[in-house]
Every structure is written in C-alpha cells, then in structure tokens.
Amino acid sequence: MTDVIRTRLDGELTIYTAQQVRETLAEMLRACAEATGVQLLVDLSAVSDTDSAGMQLLLGARRQAEAAGHTLAFVDCSDSLREAGTLLGLGDWLDGKPASAADL
C-alpha cells in the first residue's frame, strides 16, 4: 500500500510568500524522508493569487519529490491558479497528472 501525504496551500502563492510556502513544501518532503514511493498531494483549491515565483516553487517541489523517489501531484487547483498556469503553459501539469517535471 502506498503512503499518501497531503498538504494544502492557501492564500497567495507569490514572491511575497515564497519563503513560507517553500518551508511548507519542504516540511512535506521531510515527512517522507525515510520512505520511498510516497504519493504527495498538494491541495491548491484555496490559492488566491500566484506569480512566476509561486509556479517555480511548485516546479521545484515536484523535482525534489521525484529525486527522492516520490510522486507529487497538485490537486483541486483554484481558478486563479489554473488561469496563471494556462498563461504559462502549465495547465495540464496542474491538473494532478503524474507527468514528470522533466517533461516541462
């Protein structure tokens, strides 16, 4: 049985909140440091705003998870995040599809 760890980001996902969001995502990765093959889910339903710095954090978190042997999926994207993702060409990637970050 695969372990699942879920966290939720809310509010802004911007350069102004980057450090706080980075720590939240790092904590999630630390929680599964001793395991392999963990499914990480990040609920983005309450993200009110994002910018390129926020999107970079998400990309980086996925890469770190994959490097550690885990999968990371983004689920329940807010409308504002989906709009930003579409503008940046990341719409499918934000739909929780398990595609590798290397495919971007």
The predicted structure's pLDDT at residue 102: 45
Q: How far apart are CA 94 and CA 11, in angstroms?
A: 17
Domain range 4-103, its CATH number among 3.10.129.10, 3.30.70.60, 3.30.750.24, 2.60.420.10: 3.30.750.24
pLDDT value of residue 100:
43
Q: pLDDT per position in the chain (104 positions), as tens?
A: 568 899 999 999 999 999 999 999 999 988 888 888 889 999 999 999 999 899 999 989 999 998 989 989 988 899 988 888 888 887 777 765 544 444 43
Interior CA angle at 99 toward 64 and 39, to 5°? 55
